[in-house]
Amino acid sequence: MKFYSTQDKSLRATLKESVIKGMPADGGLYMPVSIPKLPKAFIQSLEGKGLQEIGFEIARLFIDNINENELHNIINSALNFDTPLININDHIHTLETFHGPTLAFKDIGARFMARLMSYLIRGEDRKLNIIVATSGDTGSAVANGFYKVPGIRVFVLYPCGKISKIQEKQIATLGENITAIEVKGNFDDCQELVKTALGDQKLNQKIELTTANSINIARLLPQIFYYFRAFAQLENFMDSDIIVSVPCGNFGNLTAGLFAQRMGLPVQKFIAATNINKVVPEYLQSGQYQPRESIATISNAMDVGDPSNFARILDFYDNDREAILEDISGASYNDTETRQTIKKVLSRWGYICDPHGAVGFRALEEYLMQVDPGASGIFLETAHPAKFKDVVEEEIGIEVSVPERLAKFLKREKLSLKIEKDYQKVKDILLDQ
């Protein structure tokens, strides 16, 4: 499979080029030249299939130049945990995508990408520098996914004071090949600094620089798998309308879902659920796309004012808003509504949502009530509630226990470099090695 750029449909890049460069030189995003359809028999026999098995069947349609054994190894070692589907009530299920080491769904993309990259440069004498901006969870997943991977250095930029303490510990305490950069600014500032570095030709002549943001196609591909895995855990999904609600920030997760649907997964409708950073729900409603500064919320991994993967969605639908509306409905909620939802889901059904999942739940519940009462739905739980312990405990008044793999980070010492939002500072750090 080859990849084109959202800025230039005639471009053809190999998988290796797309994954290692991360972003085409024209500033667009890589897209697969076609979306393979899965045979109907595969969809019909989905029930009971595991994440690794599904992952392999899907991955090999996009990745056709890696030996099957190697591809199995990459998938099995990246996805050595499941994405279980949990019933909340008769109509609503949640797909828990947070069972990886840093307790957010981003482990899935980051771990797959780290293993694929390291495979793609095996035996070559090169030193790859990965720079990534994070609103919290990307940084921890990428830092942990690449920790001690030979030949690769990782630079994580995160906004000072705008990520949770646990997230910061997971990013900034590793050391070794991981450098944490604490930027006095917001997520969009971090993302801008990363874009500037990636586009700095002089810098790129000196060091080999790439990114692991969700704009990297290697992060998107494995996220397709768990949408199929969700359906594999549903009974009789062929006979009912299934709505899938995705808590969105940079819109990588939803983009992967749209790929899954076009590959043949019978999703009736996706809900793009956001916090008050709602440029996409606004676009769906009015047709106007107005990116702007992000606003801090309790679902901070979704505090994105100019979501980079939105360009992929527009491209995927040839900028046809009517076609987009066929597949995606938008909804957004403020922090008060998110807090109420955490409380309600616990008291009514005994399930503890994290703030991101709560946004997804609420969007789904309202959609099922107002638009499609006969349907059932799945919302994605994108992080373990313990990652947002303070907020969650404030609402529910009981302690959220912290899994051991998370607790061990809390004991470690922070090692980050604190800088102003000044590109020169970032450049100095990148060159100082």
Q: Confirm if 402 and 175 have CB atoms less than 8 A apart.
A: no
Q: How far is the CB of 192 from ligand PLP (least distance, A)?
A: 16
Residue 269 appears among annotated catalytic residues? no
- The torsion angles phi and psi of 350, rounded to 5 degrees, stand at 70, 25
Q: How far is the CB of 431 from ligand PLP (least distance, A)?
A: 29
Question: Of the ranges 225-233, 244-252, 288-296, 340-348, which one interacts with ligand PLP (CB under 6 A)?
Answer: 244-252
Out of 215, 302, 386, 430, the only residue in the binding site for ligand PLP (CB under 6 A) is: 302
Is 273 a binder of ligand PLP (CB under 6 A)?
no
Nearer to ligand PLP, 43 or 311 (CB): 311
Q: How far is the CB of 355 from ligand PLP (least distance, A)?
A: 8
Is 215 a binder of ligand PLP (CB under 6 A)?
no
Buried b vs exposed e over 142-160: b needs ≥16 C-beta within 10 Å?
A: bbbbbbebeebbbbbbbbb
The SS3 assignment for 210 reads strand
Bridge-based pairing of strands 3-5 and 30-32 is antiparallel
Question: Of the ranges 112-120, 250-258, 286-294, 311-319, which one interacts with ligand PLP (CB under 6 A)?
Answer: 250-258
Q: Is 400 exposed, middle or buried (0-12, 13-18, 19+ CB in 10 A)?
A: middle
Give the integer Cα–Cα distance in Å for 135 and 304: 8
Q: Is 123 exposed, middle or buried (0-12, 13-18, 19+ CB in 10 A)?
A: exposed
Is 356 a binder of ligand PLP (CB under 6 A)?
yes
Is 260 a binder of ligand PLP (CB under 6 A)?
no
Nearer to ligand PLP, 71 or 186 (CB): 186
Out of 5, 164, 170, 250, the only residue in the binding site for ligand PLP (CB under 6 A) is: 250
Torsion angle of alpha carbons 92, 95, 96, 97, nearest 10°?
Answer: -150
Is 139 a binder of ligand PLP (CB under 6 A)?
no
Out of 2, 40, 49, 106, pick the active-site residue.
Answer: 106
Is 169 a binder of ligand PLP (CB under 6 A)?
no
Q: In 3D, which of 351, 355, 333, 429 has the Cα closest to residue 136?
A: 355
Q: How far is the CB of 247 from ligand PLP (least distance, A)?
A: 5
Number of residues that bind ligand PLP (CB under 6 A): 16
- The torsion angles phi and psi of 421, rounded to 5 degrees, stand at -80, 75
Is 162 a binder of ligand PLP (CB under 6 A)?
no
Question: Of the ranges 189-197, 251-259, 280-288, 403-411, which one interacts with ligand PLP (CB under 6 A)?
Answer: 251-259
Is 159 a binder of ligand PLP (CB under 6 A)?
no
Give the integer Cα–Cα distance in Å for 113 and 216: 9
304 to 113, 137, 205, 211: CA distances (angstroms) = 22, 13, 31, 18
Question: Of the ranges 153-161, 199-207, 237-245, 248-256, which one interacts with ligand PLP (CB under 6 A)?
Answer: 248-256
Using CB under 6 A as the criterion, which residues of the chain lie in contact with ligand PLP when the complex forms?
A: 104, 106, 137, 214, 247-253, 301-302, 356, 382-383
Catalytic residues: 106
